[in-house]
Amino acid sequence: MKIARVLVACLIVFSVLFGCKKKEGAMLYESGRKETVPAPVQEVPKDMLATQQAFTNLVKSVTPSVVNISTVGRKKLVRPFFESSPFFEEFFGEGGRPQYRRESSLGSGFIVNKEGYIVTNDHVVRDAETIQVKLSNESVYTGKVIGSDPKTDIAVIKINAKEPLPAAVLGDSNKLQVGQWAIAIGNPFGLDRTVTVGVISATGRSNMGIETYEDFIQTDASINPGNSGGPLLNVYGEVIGINTAIVAAGQGIGFAIPVNMAKQVVTQLISKGNVSRGWLGVSIQSVTQEMANSFGLPKAYGALVNDVVPGGPAAKAGIMQGDVITGFAGTTVKDVRQLQRLVGDTPIGKKVEVELYRDGKQLKVFVITTSAESTPAQSQRPTEREAGVLGLSVEELGAEMRARGISGVVVSDLEPGGIAEESGIQRGDIIVSVNQRKVRNLAEYQRAMKGAGNRGAVALLVKRGSASIYFALKLR
């Protein structure tokens, strides 16, 4: 019995010691089987694998040319309409001097040559005091604005890199077709080099109220804040557009500037820091269906000439007030914005064929465009450029209209969704009085408008053709 008890005790001690040793050596026990788990889908279609690989290859090739842009700048605080309020100085300082706040923003861009020139959106770098550019290899450089063009929302910045930079390859946006693949790369919400994929949803989008010259590519490739200025690519990795805007109320609706529009803008910005555009020397307005019917046009298209600047290119070519411009340089003119874009894209000094509709007949004349910036005739017609609280811009009437005894100011532009546009005022309308106070020129219009806001509403008497119409605009 004693021997048995000793054996049992030894076994217990041995078991305890063995168990402690195992715990010290390993807490986990792994299976000795080395089998791999099969994929849920064993046979993937080859075309799907090829498409996936194509996107992967594209991103690897193009991403090095995409940069992240961060800026810090000053933004002017907007003065309230009620600046006469006793609380005004509390917000805007003594004497109502303008106040600013520091503001940072994020955007994207892409390198266009090895010397460090980078294309982005004007609104990404506008009013920036400092610009930081981060490359795909995490190198950070200080950027400098070489030139910008607010009318197309394009800017060029430059960095002084230590080594040659990988440049993006520009494609041909004129060859785009709806339904083609579209790939966007950018910095949405500060997330570095995010890639989204979709299709070209539409081309030639205009009248969006985003820029002066619009010919947008629409895509459902996700574009979010921070994507601005980044490239939109085709399946060859070529840049076909510059990601610019989104529709905040919807999903899958983004807009990009066509690269063909950007090419000539970027070239001028790099060479001279600004953009020169062609100028016709006409004031134009849209053709409504009612106007088309009265003119005998088969449909509402083209741009109606409501004034011609004496001595301007159009006047020299024989274009007259009341003509409808239906074609320019071989392209059918759909509306006012398209004509503005076509003329603006025309090189200075180029002879261009213009198609007109006059008195029921189609005519052709030849115009030699001049520079809008260098034409003295423009300075003879002052313009109230700021849309202001009413959301409209006006300019002086032309000499021909003044000679006919017409006085007032002409509506040259409308802010999309602004008070004036919603009230029914149109480009080309002539404002002859403000709150029953006659205005004969721009100076009188400005004086009348200064005191108009205190009433909370403005009554405008507008002359449209042979009709006189009153518009009551309630200030928001």
Tell me if 215 sits within 8 A of 339, measured CB to CB.
Answer: no
The CA distance from 418 to 473, in Å, is 10
Is the separation of the CB atoms in 326 and 357 below 8 Å?
A: yes
Cα torsion angle, 207, 210, 214, 215, sign: negative
Tell me the C-alpha distance between 359 and 414, whole Å: 29
215 touches 341 (CB < 8 A): yes
* End-to-end Cα spacing for the chain: 107
Work out the angle at residue 231's Cα, subtended by the Cα atoms of residues 203 and 187, and round it to the nearest 5 degrees: 125
Pairing of strands 128-134, 66-76: antiparallel
Residues 6+ apart with CB under 8 A from 108: 66, 67, 68, 69, 120, 124, 185, 186, 187, 226, 227, 228, 229, 230, 243
- Give the residue numbers marked as catalytic: 123, 153, 228
Q: Which of 148, 345, 171, 145 is nearest to 264 (CA)?
A: 345
Q: How far apart are CA 351 and CA 317, in angstroms?
A: 10
Kind plus residue range of the DSSP H or E element containing 463: strand 457-464
H-run or E-run covering 265 = helix 259-272
Residue pair 409/441 in contact by the 8 Å Cβ criterion: yes
Element (H, E) at 394: strand 392-396
What burial letters (b/e) apply to 137-157, b meaning 16+ CB within 10 Å?
eeeebebebbbbbebbbbbbb
- Beta-bridged to residue 131, according to DSSP, are 71
Length of the chain, in residues: 476
H or E stretch covering 108: strand 100-111
* Separation of alpha carbons 332 and 325, rounded Å: 9
- Burial class of residue 393 in the structure, from the number of CB atoms within 10 Å of its CB (0-12 exposed, 13-18 middle, 19+ buried): buried
DSSP-derived 3-state class of residue 453: helix
**Using an 8 Å Cβ cutoff, are 285 and 357 in contact?**
no
